[in-house]
Structure 1
């Protein structure tokens, strides 16, 4: 679905929440009754948590305070007409109101009994009761989640939330929803994410009169703004605050040396596009003047919201089809030219595997070019080590049209050279200097940047200024396949990649998340965004920093590391058994959480210990601040993975994060296939190049299981006991009952007939026997992923083996291409004329 720009859409409502009182609250203090207050948080209306006053020494506090929120009917507001029924979870004794017979069960550690049901939250208001403590952090007493979507316009409702049916603890709240007929707002949406109008406040601090002002710091805050709290000095220039126009928060100005003196200005009181000058009401001279100007924020989006391939990719495919059609006609010996809709989309999918993957991909691409089949390929995807090969090759805009002997010789030089110099003092100083320069520009500081520079030194003699956007030159007339690089976005703490993982794809045209339909040009990756608008542009990073992300081995948590220390498929099986699926037909209305017990806090501590990523990568999140459409969960391109529970909690998804946490896809499934399975790309044939030493089909089987659970069309990976025991060089997988599923021609890294043949059909002589012995064992192989230096003999063997395995299966490749053309012709015949 393409971006929908809606001009001044009505549907804004005013939600009034009146917090009345609480009864029978438990005391957290053994000496005195509780000192309680209530916080309110509705992220679609404000990123600031509002709170009542504190009522001291009372188990029955009365607040009687009202709070107002402006919400929009298109932004995550559900329409539920069924009556709400109070239910009790038999596992954790939490309550909820829902029109369903199955209750919602949820705990802070995300540990849910298998029999409980999870529902995707809509427009949810969170109310929390806290016991204020002057010496330690405030203790939570009661937490309530209320779905605003259960309210109808014009409705007035009183609720009494009970923590325990047998107890007396209650929180009494009143809700009222009114229609604001005079308010309209321009929205941008792709049906999943929503970008709202922005307001920009410009602030200048000046001295009032001829007196010399203080040079002390001034603190300025606009709650919910993109910039957050800022510090300034008088006369230092303008500050800017961006926030959604509908929120209308207030500016707070406070002196560092006199925190009790503040100036608060409601932004709704400021006229638009006019300068307003106020004098700071300080008790002592000199005075300070505050100059304010409220303006409209940027109108157009810098983030593309859409699920289809971008216009540049579609134009490239049109150019590439001409190259593919010519190559297929020659390779398949066709009598006539292929019609445009008869040309299949063929893709190469390369897994990760460090230097082994990089070296192997060179050999296989050389084999495809020798067979005249490289021009039949429209896409080529890589992950981890295979991305290193692609990044090198695409520095030459005509690489696939040339003999690869030159690039392969450069590869040999880098793979076999000594790596001791990468940690020399002079190199470390260079790393430090470049990292400091990036930090000065505004890039977050993280260990991944250091790894990127070290990795560049391992694979190159000198730093390269090449950037991802530069690779467009290699696509200008369709002369090469379109490269797509993969990474996995996850949470920095509290969740493993098995609980939460999102594929992020990088191409010369765009970087983005297909799950959300949100993309930006690679020139803007790493820059700062808010609500889909560019707020601070940073220079495009050298591609080595992206390679550091794609092969980011240092963001693993202890829980993720168990995947590597055990049998991956068995670990995946055990984990998947404990997961529950989200049902798109079921929607939650209300949930009350109990206060965490001591045992629960201990469990949270160990969960944090297992899931924290001490060396996590950090990049500015270009989706920051974007809201969710009310029907996002039902959108056909929003892929909710059954292993994660956060997909039903939009306030905890990636657009709510300030930074992305990207790492190697191998921490979930070692594949770069996911971009090729997007239905909008309509791939017919995938040449699967697998570089795993531990199981020839293991990662492909995991991918097949993942696709089955996600209902993504993919052929079943079924193998005979003989194929499992003795993998061949090439295996074809088809889905006869699902025409939307691509065919997969799988090339595992095996040493089969290469032992006996130096070239296809050429038996080895006795003197050549040694050259056919390639050690691919998972334990003692010289190609283990931890090896960064190969001997000349080992690199030659691996290049020859992978080149041979492609060339020795020429007939299988041609037959797969022939079937792909046939399937396209059949689809063409079935289409209405």
Structure 2
């Protein structure tokens, strides 16, 4: 009883340590037995205490990355390589595949079946608008509501045709049984991702969520709860997988692309009588007042969008706002004043003006008598406010005033904002290069758009900045941006070996790399069966072509003196 209470107390505290969590250590110990058998099957005998830690990394890339990762895992299984993998790291779109698999305790054994089921669901599944509505309305009750909530439940849910309400902490069993590699997901701090410091990279596992650069972690079930001085002060409901999929995977386009996606979904959500979806019966009696409120908010947002489009369309939106608020002399005057100074205003002034206009609209329309209308009004107000302030991934900061962490950039803030890690390195190198994980071989499957070596280049800079061992990279090996090969191997002393495999290359799609990149762009949100099959074939062919090279590197590492030492 006493040990159980101690364990519960530890879970309710911030853990300040560079050591791996108890749960991860247990999972790794179990997995080593499976990896040893996997190596035996490959003809590479190895004592269990000398089993090398091998990590597979899957880059971001929207739905392209998600689908390609299914094909990659199937083919790794086919060549008996998957059982040799200790860690699976995913960012951005790849997380959509990985997090869906870990609901099944035996997914690595059934990956071929699961690939077919999940890919069929992408095409033929039905998204559940009622569940999405309930989830996002519940989210608006939280003071940390952000665009991530709306994005998760209405965009990612619709894209995957699945609203996964299970929790990441429940995936622990899928790791502790040793049958599957240990998963690591990532997000980054919105305030620092461009400059990147020790507190930028956040990692998510079934056991803990934390910042490896600072050695600070909390129990996964407490993500989103309120911490202060290193202690849990208010337990909140654990974030579900659907929310996390949106948090991990929101970098599927430019700011303009995201604006269009979110606002389009919001308009469709509130539109009455859509032919392709059931009407929202709660809004069937909406009056002109509610429609005008929506129109006012939309015009303010369109002003922001017109700003990103070189000012086009601003006059039309100001005309609309004046017509909506024409019965209020005070508010009409405010619109005219802002309009007159619009072209000369700086970014900060415009931001203030967005909020002044929204406040004027909100005040003008007052309360709605119907409770349902009030609820949806709250959704409108909060979502449009988030759009204007570009608010993503807000959550309670578990490091707020945390003793033992000398990092005021984080410890001084009660709230932090987390976004897609694909905006930085776009591969989970910071997690698998963590010294305590002792990774000897990294197999990186790069599903990026554009430069297929950008993840390597960014990782080199990251490792230089923080003194992390990484193979020396010859820039001449990274020149074929538009015509890459299928496999690049980088070795170095006292550093893990890296095998880098671009998805579209001159071996699996010779002469058609540009065509494949265009057809499977990161912005592509919908896939046909034929397109999924074509993408899966490319990913599987890539593994088939490089599997012998991977096998030789495993043999070299198992037999290398540095490993035996």
Q: Same fold (TM over 0.5)?
A: yes
Q: Which has the higher contact order (CA 8 A, sep 6+)?
A: 2
Aligned to 2:93: 385
Structure 2 gap segments, 5+ residues each: 1-8, 260-344, 353-387
1:358 aligns with 2:358: no
Aligned to 1:549: 247
- d(CA) in 2 for partners of 1:300 and 1:373? 35
Aligned to 2:503: 749
Residue from 388, 391, 394 that aligns with 1:615: 391
Task: Note the 1:414-429 alignment, pairs <5 A.
Answer: 414-417=121-124, 427=129
Q: How far does the alpha carbon of each residue in 1:598-649 deviate from its partner, in whole angstroms, 9 at most, with x for none?
A: xxxx99959999xx952322111111121356xx5xxxxxxxxxxxxxxxxx
Q: How far does the alpha carbon of each residue in 1:67-88 deviate from its partner, in whole angstroms, 9 at most, with x for none?
A: xxxxxxxxxxxxxxxxxxxxxx
Residue from 65, 76, 86 that aligns with 1:368: 76
Q: How far does the alpha carbon of each residue in 1:174-216 deviate from its partner, in whole angstroms, 9 at most, with x for none?
A: xxxxxxxxxxxxxxxxxxxxxxxxxxxxxxxxxxxxxxxxxxx
Aligned to 2:135: 434
C-alpha distance 614-556 of structure 1, shift in aligned 2 (>3 A): farther
Structure 1 gap segments, 5+ residues each: 1-297, 562-601, 633-649, 757-771
Residue from 505, 518, 524 that aligns with 2:216: 518
C-alpha distance 785-720 of structure 1, shift in aligned 2 (>3 A): closer
1:504 aligns with 2:504: no
What's the Cα RMSD here? 3.0
Aligned to 2:522: 785
Whichever structure has more strand as a proportion of its residues is 1
Residue from 476, 482, 487 that aligns with 2:187: 487
- d(CA) in 2 for partners of 1:373 and 1:387? 20
- Give the SS at the match of 1:817: helix
Partners of 1:557 and 1:613 within 8 A in 2: no
Partners of 2:122 and 2:160 within 8 A in 1: no
Partners of 1:554 and 1:616 within 8 A in 2: no
Task: Note the 1:399-798 alignment, pairs <5 A.
Answer: 399-402=107-110, 404-417=111-124, 427=129, 430-440=131-141, 442=142, 444-491=144-191, 497-498=194-195, 502-553=200-251, 605=348, 614-628=390-404, 632=406, 650-651=407-408, 653-718=409-474, 719-720=476-477, 723=480, 726-735=483-492, 738-739=493-494, 741-755=495-509, 776=515, 778=517, 781-798=518-535
- d(CA) in 2 for partners of 1:327 and 1:496? 38
TM-score (norm 1): 0.49
Deviation, structure 1 residue 707: 1.3
- d(CA) in 1 for partners of 2:135 and 2:557? 48
1:810 aligns with 2:551: no
- Give the SS at the match of 2:436: coil
- d(CA) in 2 for partners of 1:479 and 1:489? 32
1:828 aligns with 2:553: no
- d(CA) in 2 for partners of 1:537 and 1:456? 27
- d(CA) in 2 for partners of 1:616 and 1:312? 30
Q: How far does the alpha carbon of each residue in 1:510-555 deviate from its partner, in whole angstroms, 9 at most, with x for none?
A: 1011122111111111111111111111222211111111013399
- Give the SS at the match of 2:435: coil
C-alpha distance 324-776 of structure 1, shift in aligned 2 (>3 A): farther
- d(CA) in 2 for partners of 1:393 and 1:551? 16
- d(CA) in 2 for partners of 1:722 and 1:510? 39
- d(CA) in 2 for partners of 1:546 and 1:539? 13
Partners of 2:443 and 2:500 within 8 A in 1: yes
Whichever structure has more helix as a proportion of its residues is 2
Rg larger in structure: 1
- d(CA) in 1 for partners of 2:392 and 2:253? 4
How many matched pairs? 434
C-alpha distance 671-363 of structure 1, shift in aligned 2 (>3 A): same
C-alpha distance 545-443 of structure 1, shift in aligned 2 (>3 A): farther
Partners of 1:686 and 1:744 within 8 A in 2: yes
Deviation, structure 1 residue 728: 1.3
Aligned to 1:322: 33
TM-score (norm 2): 0.71
